[in-house]
Amino acid sequence: MPSVSGFFPRRRLDMTDLRTHLHGLWLPLVTPFRDGKLDETSLRRLTRHYCGQAVDGFILGATSGEGMTLRDAELERLVAIVRDEMAAGRRTLPICLGMSGADTSRLKERLDETADWPIDGYLIASPYYVRPSQRGLLAHFEALADHAAWPLALYNIPYRCAVNITNQTMLRLAEHPNIVGLKDCGASREQSIALLRDRPDGFRVLTGEDANYLEALTDGADGGIVLSAHVETATFAAVYAELKRGNRDAAQARWQEVAELTRLLFTEPSPAPAKHWLWRSGLIDSPEVRLPMVEVSSELAATIDREIERRMKVAA
């Protein structure tokens, strides 16, 4: 295993270069449940469906995937099924495994335990609740990056973790050869723009704020990790593609097709609204979530159902 003296990633034949592939539209895949258990049938259906869409990578077992409620065996099975379905469909997409925690030592153990899983990297959130200093954040992430067998993308989301990774700290972390990018939910456009301006070559920044997807791409972000892209996936991909071609008016027009969707799917705690939509659309067999999450209210369910019906009529 890697040590603090230097990391030595072990490459599989099917492993992708995460730094090269960390761009475009990434999907933080929901984890389907049924009767309290991982719904493997629905998971296979989801994977086949999204592998056929313009998606550039998957995040598994993170916030949208209810990763903190998954047992270790369930998480391992989740990764194995997604990779198996990719192989069957002959389309390989990079996979990042979501990871979070407030104990650096335990996270290093988790890196050891998952080192042989068929993943391409990790998405690791800031330590929650303990509110470390910037020196603490620097030491924490450097220790993990030194230890990890696969590359790390960091996840800055201060409104969940109660601590912000400042740009000064982030730029130091970006110098580490095993830290390749960031999911940016910093909630400060000024901070994000400054980071995009000052980051080193090859350090990727993807927005994790669905409602700010177009804005972040316009500012220079490399892509987005977008829960709302479970719905109207092609449109979210088209926003990115049009901007890459320099067609801002076209990108704005496509964005207007989904902008309200990014608000609707976060009306109540995520991923319950998205799961309800996917259930009604037949992609998963149940909208079940795990406590402390609960399924959407009857009022929101009715609103989502009406929006599904409206979009079906428009598409007809």
In a domain, 32, yes or no: yes
- H helices of the chain, in order, are 18-21, 40-51, 72-89, 104-113, 134-147, 158-161, 167-173, 189-198, 213-219, 233-244, 248-256, 259-264, 272-280, 298-315
Q: Given pLDDT bands bounded at 50, 70 and 90, which one contains residue 16?
A: low
CATH number at residue 219: 3.20.20.70
Task: Give the Cβ contact number of residue 295 at 10 Å.
Answer: 17
Largest CA distance in the chain: 60
The number of domains in the chain is 1
Task: List residues with catalytic annotation.
Answer: 155, 183
Whether 287 is covered by a domain: the verdict is no
Q: Is residue 305 part of a domain?
A: no
Query: Do the domain assignments include residue 296?
Result: no
Instruction: Give tens-digit pLDDT for 207-264.
Output: 999 999 999 999 999 999 999 999 999 999 999 999 999 999 999 999 999 999 999 9
In this prediction, residue 316 carries a pLDDT of 78
> What is the predicted pLDDT for the residue at 108?
98
Q: 18-22, 61-65, 110-114, 243-247: which has the minimum mean pLDDT?
A: 18-22
Torsion angles phi and psi, residue 218, rounded to 5: -65, -35
pLDDT band at 15 (very low <50, low <70, confident <90, very high): low
278 assigned to some structural domain: no
- Establish whether 225 is an annotated binding residue: yes
Domain with 112 in it: 18-247
The predicted-structure confidence for 142-159, as pLDDT tens digits, reads as follows 999 999 999 999 999 999
